[in-house]
Amino acid sequence: MCRRMERLQRASIILFFLLLLFLNAQAQEYDILLKGGHLIDAKNNIDGPMDLAIADGKIAEVARNIPKDKAARTIDVSGLYVTPGLIDMHAHVFMGNEPGAYIANGATSVMPDGFTFRSGVTTVVDAGSSGWRNFPLFKEQTIDKAKTRVLALLNIVGTGMRSRFEEQDITDMNPEMTAYSIQKLYPDILVGIKAAHYWGGFTQVDLAVEAGKKAGVPVMVDFGEHNPPNSIEALFMEHLRPGDIFTHTYSNGPKERETIVDENGKLKPLVLKAQQRGIIFDLGHGGGAFTWKQAVPATKQGFKADVVSTDLHTESMNSGMKDLSNVLSKFMALGISLPDAILRATWAPAKVINRPDLGHLSVGAEADVAVFNLRKGNFGFLDVRRMRLKGDKKLEAELTLRAGKVVWDMNGIASEDFKE
């Protein structure tokens, strides 16, 4: 009797614990809860206080008040802005040390992970560092090893940006091979085509657009080294298709690239017309392609670049560019609002590269999330001509998550307090 009672008791205790465990497991359906933040998600029209829960590396719930006990781990993000992980649509990350090479497998490119997470970026698009001939090396060496999601525009030149001289070789601009690589070989990584650094007429652009048509992807054009410059009106209205991209929008080197603002500080009407036609304007800051002289009057006259990007490489990283959160802060110093700036580094580029799975915080999306502190103070923002514009706000990445994992935590908001 007594023994049976004991056994029963034991069994019920075990049952009780199992029930508790079950309840507990049920209660903690989320891995991470970001609580108390201000959420900005353009695709879903959210710009306000909202909690965000993550489970299995995906966005699981976005709601005004998600209880703490539903998550294994709650991170207090009150006073901070929660956004989709940023997309840097223009970077050069095919880092290597091939003799004679500069951006393709060369030292002018950088390794992505050192720059991305600390500025809230979770996806970079390499802008044509590689072409169809050396993309497989780029993939093996960098893309497959990086924690950052690395996508790429394939250069219309087979060897990509190996040297300025090789980039002139029309016989190595093969629309067939380029389109084949994009469509058949690497459709998940290659999101478009790049035409850049060409000294001649429209040949390179036309070949790139031909490849773009074959592969069904956009073309990004760096139209900067033509002397005398080619007409941007012809480029926008005749050669490019709606959805194609003009980069280095605010560059001011009128001898080689026609500017969007004329000598008298007037925005050329054709620029707005081109934007209405669907031409995408990419900021592409770089070491030499962002001037207040262009950006300030253009903004005042009602024009904004569609996408804010860095053109990250060794000549831009320590200059006025620095990183994407700095470039976004500069964009805000022009008078553009925070949600508008964030839009241009999240949902806007996702649409441009036809990747609607990225750049938003919809339930089910991969949990690429950035949390920003909007720091107040007296800041100066440098352009490429060493001109300074003042600003009183600056974005700082507090926390970055890639596929649900914390990959940057500036002040330890996702860590345990140390106890002596």
Partner 1 sequence: MKILNFKIKENIIGLILFLTVLSLQAQEIDILIKNGHVFDAKNNIDTISDVSIAAGKIVRVAPSISEKQAKQVIDATGLYVLPGLIDPHTHVFVGPKPGKFADGSNSLSPDDFSFKSGVTTVVDAGTSGWQNFPQFKSQVIDQSKTRVLAFLNIAAQGINGTEIELTKIEAEKHDINEMDVAKTSEMILEYPDIIVGVKIGHFNGESWAPFDRAVEAASKTDRPLFVECHLPEYSLKDQLDHMRPGDIITHSFENIDERMPVVDENGKLRPFVLEALERGVLFDVGHGGAGFWFDQAIPALQQGLWPNSFGTDLHRFSMNAGMKDILNVMSKYLNMGMPLKDVFLRGSYYPAKAIKREDLGNLSSGSDADIVLLSLRSGEFGFIDARNNSIKGDKKLEAEMTIRAGKVVWDLNGLAAKPFEKN
Stretch that binds partner 1, among 42-50, 236-244, 300-308, 381-389 (CB under 8 A): 381-389
Return the residue of 320, 349, 359, 404 that touches partner 1, per CB under 8 A: 320
User: Can residue 141 be called a binding residue for partner 1 (CB under 8 A)?
Assistant: yes
Residue (374 or 389) nearer to partner 1, CB = 389
CB 318, min distance to partner 1, A? 5
Residue (100 or 412) nearer to partner 1, CB = 412
What part of residues 104-123 is at the interface with partner 1 (CB under 8 A)? 105, 107, 110-111, 113-115, 117-118
CB 208, min distance to partner 1, A? 27
Residue (97 or 276) nearer to partner 1, CB = 97
Find out whether 371 and 34 touch, Cβ atoms under 8 Å: yes
In DSSP terms, which residues pair with 374 in a beta bridge? 395
Find out whether 35 and 73 touch, Cβ atoms under 8 Å: no
User: Can residue 179 be called a binding residue for partner 1 (CB under 8 A)?
Assistant: no
Rounded CA-CA distance 214/151 in Å is: 19
Return the residue of 173, 197, 383, 395 that touches partner 1, per CB under 8 A: 383
Stretch that binds partner 1, among 41-49, 268-276, 316-324, 343-351 (CB under 8 A): 316-324
Reference 112, options 409, 402, 420, 405; nearest CA is 402
Centroid of chain to Cα 273: 26
Contact letters for partner 1, residues 291-310 (x by CB under 8 A):
-xx--x--------------
- Report in angstroms the alpha-carbon separations of 126 from 220, 243, 327, 332: 11, 18, 17, 25
Neighbours of 351 (CB within 10 A): 18
User: Can residue 139 be called a binding residue for partner 1 (CB under 8 A)?
Assistant: no
Rounded CA-CA distance 368/379 in Å is: 29
User: Can residue 203 be called a binding residue for partner 1 (CB under 8 A)?
Assistant: no
Angle of CA points 40, 80, 284, to nearest 5°: 60
Phi, psi of 381 (to 5 degrees): -120, 125
Can you list the pairs that 166-170 forms with residues at least 24 positions away whose Cβ atoms lie under 8 Å?
167/196, 167/197, 167/198, 168/198, 168/199, 168/200, 170/200, 170/203, 170/204, 170/207
What part of residues 88-107 is at the interface with partner 1 (CB under 8 A)? 95-97, 105, 107
In DSSP terms, which residues pair with 75 in a beta bridge? 34
Strands of the 369-382 sheet, one edge to the other: 46-49, 38-41, 81-84, 369-382
User: Can residue 390 be called a binding residue for partner 1 (CB under 8 A)?
Assistant: yes
User: Can residue 78 be called a binding residue for partner 1 (CB under 8 A)?
Assistant: no
CB 251, min distance to partner 1, A? 16
User: Can residue 318 be called a binding residue for partner 1 (CB under 8 A)?
Assistant: yes
Return the residue of 149, 162, 322, 360 that touches partner 1, per CB under 8 A: 322
Cβ-in-10-Å burial (0-12, 13-18, 19+) of 339 comes to middle
CB 394, min distance to partner 1, A? 9
CB 413, min distance to partner 1, A? 7
Return the residue of 12, 380, 392, 393 that touches partner 1, per CB under 8 A: 380
Find out whether 126 and 92 touch, Cβ atoms under 8 Å: yes
Residues forming contacts to partner 1 in the complex (CB under 8 A) are 95-97, 105, 107, 110-111, 113-115, 117-118, 140-142, 144-145, 292-293, 296, 314, 317-318, 320, 322, 378-383, 386-390, 407-420
